Amino acid sequence: MTQSSEELFQQARERLAGGVSHESRFKGPHPKYIERAEGSRKWEVDGKEYIDYAMGSASLLLGHAHPKVVAALTEQATKGTFFADCHPLEIEWAGLIQELIPSAERVRFVSSGTEATMLAIRIGRGYSGKHKILRFEGHYHGWHEFVDLGMNAPYDKPTSLGILPGTVEATVVVKPEPAAVEAALAADEEIGTIICEVSGANYGSVPLPEGFLPELRRLADAHNAVLVFDEVITGFRWSPGGRQARDGVTPDLTSMAKIVTGGMPGGAVGGREDFMRLLDPQVEFRGRTPGVTHKGTFNGNPLVAASGVAALSEIKTGEPNKLADHAAERLRTGMREVIQQHQVAGAVYGESSTFHLYLGDDAADGSVENLGAEKIRGIPKPVINAMQSGLRKRGVDLMSHMSGITSMAHTDADIDETLNAFEDTVQEMIADGHIGGH
C-alpha cells in the first residue's frame, strides 16, 4: 500500500536530520513526498497532481524530464558516470557557456551554486589581495561561511551558529543603493570583492532599484573591486545570456548553477581570463601556483555535463525563454486582475519567468517599488501559509513565500487552471479574514 507524505515524514524523522535534506523543504505540518514529475506537473506519492512553480528550485527551464535531457543522461549513464579524468563533454559544455555568456572567457565547474559563489569570492580575494567583501541585505548566495552574514535580518548578526567571528569582520552588508555602496567603498579600503544577486534578493522578490547594476559596475571599477554577479537564478533565464546579456552590464566573475546543469547537481564560475588564470595549475600568482586552489571530486561530472549540454543547446535557440516568459507574464496579468476584481490591496510583479505576490495596504498602488525589503519580507506568516496551502490543496505548488517560477512546459491551459485556483484561494482567504476584499 502506498504511504502518504505524512507517514513518510514520520519515518524520515527517524533517519534524516530534521526529516529533510534541505531545511526549506520542511513545510508544516509535513513536507510533500513526490514520486515523479513531467513537463509542468509533479505527482505526490498518494497520486495528487500539482502544477509545479518550483521547477526544481528554478533549475528546470525546460520543464521536468525534458526528452532531450533524459536522452543525454541515459546515453551518458551507459558510458560511465564518472572517470576522475578530464573528458570531452566538459569542453563542449564550457563552450556553450562561453557562447551564451561571453564574459565567461574561462569556466571552472563546481558542484553547487554554494560552491560557485564560494569560489568566486575566493578568486576575488586572491586577485584583489583584500579580504573584505561587500554584499547586499537579504541577497542569497548559498549557505557557506563567506555569505552567511547579511542573508537574513538582522543583517549585523550571523544567521547560523558556528560562524567564525573573522567571517563577520570580513563582510560589509549594505542596502542595494548606489549611495550606500559608494559610502562603504570609500570608508573601507579592505573591500576587494562585491557580490550581488542580480535579480534582487530571492529571485527578485525585492527588486533592485532601476539602473543599479551599471552604477555598481562603475563603482567597482572606481574602487578596484572585483565584481561578481550571482546569476545562479538569472543565468540562462533572464535571457539565454542571463541578466548581464539582457542589460548589457558585464561583471568580472559570474556564479552559475541550476539551469547551467539542466537541473542536475553542479554549477560553474566564469570570468575574465586574467581573473580565472588564478586557477591555472601551471601559473604562479603572488608566489603561489596556482594562486587559488580549487578541487572537488564531482566537478564537471560527465553525467551533469551531458545534461548541461542538452539543456543549454535548447536554450541557445531562445525558444525556452520566450515560452517561459510568456507563461509568467500571463500569470502576473491574470493574478493582478484577480486581486483588483476582489479589491484586495497588493501587487503582482516579477521579471522574466518569475512571479511574486505582495499583499498589503502599502502596495495599494499595485507596486512594491518604494516598499523596501523589510516590508516585502514582512508579509504575515499566516497570510503566506493560507496562500500556499490554499493553492496546494487546489493542485498548485509555489516555489517559496508567494512566488514562483515558470518553465517552457507551462501551457496556456496550466495558466488558466492556476488562475482559477488562485481566484478560489483569494476568495477563501477573504472569507477567512486573512485579507481584506470582497
Ligand X SMILES: Cc1ncc(COP(=O)(O)O)c(C=O)c1O
Could you list the active site residues? 140, 230, 258
- Stretch of 46-54, 110-118, 324-332, 363-371 lying at the interface with ligand X (CB under 6 A): 110-118
Phi, psi angle pair for 234, to nearest 5°: -75, -25
Alpha carbons 207 and 367: distance in angstroms, whole number: 11
Taking CB under 6 A as the rule, which mask of x and - marks residues 150-189 in contact with ligand X?
Answer: ----------------------------------------
Taking CB under 6 A as the rule, which mask of x and - marks residues 25-64 in contact with ligand X?
Answer: --------------------------------x-------
Check residue 230 and give left, alpha or beta (phi > 0: left; psi -120 to 50: alpha).
beta
Taking CB under 6 A as the rule, which mask of x and - marks residues 387-426 in contact with ligand X?
Answer: ----------------------------------------
* Cβ–Cβ < 8 Å for 143, 155: no
Does 87 bind ligand X (CB under 6 A)? Our answer is no
Give the dihedral sign, CA 242/247/248/253. Answer: negative
* Cβ–Cβ < 8 Å for 398, 314: no
Least Å distance, CB 272 to ligand X, is 20
Residue with cell 526544481: 56
Does 332 bind ligand X (CB under 6 A)? Our answer is no
Encoded amino acid at 172, one letter: V
Least Å distance, CB 126 to ligand X, is 20
Please, which residue, 231 or 325, has the CB nearer to ligand X? 231
Enter the C-alpha cell of residue 104: 565567461
* Omega prior to 290 cis, within 30 of 0: yes
Does 113 bind ligand X (CB under 6 A)? Our answer is yes
Taking CB under 6 A as the rule, which mask of x and - marks residues 220-259 in contact with ligand X?
Answer: ----------x-xx-----------------------x--
Least Å distance, CB 148 to ligand X, is 13
Least Å distance, CB 281 to ligand X, is 25
* Options 117, 205, 244, 407; binder of ligand X; rule CB under 6 A: 117
Order the strands of the 267-271 sheet from edge to edge.
106-110, 267-271, 253-257, 226-230, 191-197, 132-136, 171-174
For 169-187, the DSSP string reads HTEEEE-S-HHHHHHHHHH
Please, which residue, 149 or 339, has the CB nearer to ligand X? 149
Please, which residue, 9 or 140, has the CB nearer to ligand X? 140
Residue nearest to ligand X (CB): 113
Nearest partner of 102 among 224, 227, 263, 254, judged by Cα? 254
Q: Is 7 exposed, middle or buried (0-12, 13-18, 19+ CB in 10 A)?
A: middle
CB atoms within 10 A of CB 366: 14
Least Å distance, CB 164 to ligand X, is 20
* Cβ–Cβ < 8 Å for 199, 354: yes
- Considering only residues 119 to 148 of the shown chain, the ones binding ligand X according to CB under 6 A are 140-142
* Cβ–Cβ < 8 Å for 197, 139: yes
Please, which residue, 57 or 193, has the CB nearer to ligand X? 57
Does 304 bind ligand X (CB under 6 A)? Our answer is no
* Options 40, 76, 103, 114; binder of ligand X; rule CB under 6 A: 114
Please, which residue, 148 or 423, has the CB nearer to ligand X? 148
Does 112 bind ligand X (CB under 6 A)? Our answer is yes
Q: State the residues that interact with ligand X by CB under 6 A.
A: 57, 112-114, 117, 140-142, 197, 230, 232-233, 257, 267
